[in-house]
Chains A and B, each alone.
Chain A
Amino acid sequence: MTKSFEEIPLTPISDTPSTVNLTGLWRAFRPIVDKAKCKKCTICWKFCPDVAIVLVDGVPEIDLNYCKGCGICSFECPSKCIVMVKEGTE
């Protein structure tokens, strides 16, 4: 609902953090991690532009609430243990 100019503040101010937006809903491709092949190099964690990778004992866990499926982790992984699959196919 559009608010009247008289009801809004001088500049938009949000009192909720932007993490309320589950950007993982935008995803078309999902990263699947083969944990057995992971060498724990943490390169995927360093490259993830959305901080959507959490390391558990050095092995990546994807936070699917925020992973947009860009595929950078899969591209950078030296041991090729992250593959991108189309959402809804697996």
Chain B
Amino acid sequence: MRKVMTGNYASAYGAKLARAEVIAAYPITPQTSIVEKLADFVSTGELKAKFIPVESEHSAMAACIAAQTAGARTYTATSSHGLTLMHEVLMWASGARLPIVMTNVSRAMAPPWSVWVDHMDSVAQRDTGWLEFFCQSNQEVLDTIIMAYKVCESKGVMLPAMIIEDAFILSHTSEPVDLPDQDMVDAFLPAYAPELKIEVGKARGFGSLVRPDQYMEFRYKAMLAMREAHDRFLRVEKEFKQVFGREHGGLLELYRCDDAEFVLIAAGSVAGTAKDVVDSLKAKGFPVGLARLRAFRPFPHEEIRALAGKVAGIAVLDRSYTFGAAGAMFTEVKASAYSGQKKPVIKDYIAGLGGRDITPKTIERIFEDIQIATKRGEETEVEWVDVAGLPRRWH
């Protein structure tokens, strides 16, 4: 059934179709309508789940951790300052190997106070051991939630996942979304049945102390699990396509990159705009393409390395900035590409912070700049785009 809905409702329907059993959440703009919708589903009995309204995001994640340890499938949603308040317990969720699935509506960090899209919140969680998926459309939000449960709950993975929606651009914009039949989702995603859980009458301590002689082996196992998540996701998406008839391009979606010499790498909703720009530039004869970074964790190192071996220049668009270094996606792309044989020119473009529009014109200028930099040699590694006060080229 096709319905017109916002990205937030797509998240709520995704959690409902996945039959989340415990939902613990604290409201924050622009996530609120996700949990409002889920609270509706629970109150009308459409979704048989326990809805726990908590006093903070830290508590929301703590409640999900406890419920998941007891063997329930859990879901929560948050945004920006809520996500960063969760930071400590995000580490606990992954270390305890609990496949919790959460939507993060990616929003700028304050100050300056802002409620608009920016990837700083999500990028800042990259070392927490969560899988992180950036989405381009509302359909992808819903589909990725269902796929994420299947990937994360598989025996070789057992890690949590974050599904990232761009604030307002996806969260509050309505698009047609295909809602799969519940029967089909049930067949695709069986009930959560963990090997280990808290059991009544069997006293055990979860997450107990480990001395230096044993700690690293646990971390090594988590590393293997994240590596497995990469391959598992590709298999799960293949299966998803067989059942539901659509896919979203693996961990790195290549859009018209086959004969491209200059490729833009970007994550999130801006990829939709970038695809239009690629189409119009290609029509004018420019050899450009787009590689959409769908998974930030696990990072698609091999896919990036293979792409870097085929192109002359790569422009990375970062919608956040790591102060004292560069955009996080740029540094990771460059690290992946540099271990390959061929080293293309790679530049970072910081754009769209705090919800500033990234227009087709901006993306055209980025493509123009990476072509110039490739021919002349790069003068600047990191460009801040559309900042008032900068030279005319970037403003």
Contacts and interface: CB of A to CB of B under 8 A. Distances in A.
Contacts of B206: 11-13
Contact of B205 (A2, A9, A14): A14
Interface of B is mostly: loop
Interface residues on A, range: 10 to 19
Which of B96, B208, B213: most chain A Cβ within 10 A? Answer: B208
B95 interface: yes
Interface stretch (B215-223, B300-308, B326-334, B364-372): B215-223
B95 A11 contact: yes
Contacts of A9: 196
Nearest to B222: A10
Contact of A10 (B196, B208, B209, B213): B196
Interface string B340-373: 0000000000000000000000000000000000
Given A2-B213, A2-B214, A3-B214, A8 B204 contact: no
Nearest to B220: A5
Contacts, number: 51
Contacts of A14: 204-205, 208
Interface in A1-21: 1-5, 8-15, 17-18
Contact of A3 (B209, B217, B224): B217
24 contacts: A2-B213, A5-B217, A5-B218, A5-B220, A5-B224, A8-B214, A8-B218, A10-B158, A10-B196, A11-B96, A11-B97, A11-B206, A12-B206, A12-B210, A12-B214, A13-B196, A13-B205, A13-B206, A13-B208, A14-B205, A15-B203, A15-B204, A17-B205, A18-B208
Interface of A: 1-5, 8-15, 17-18
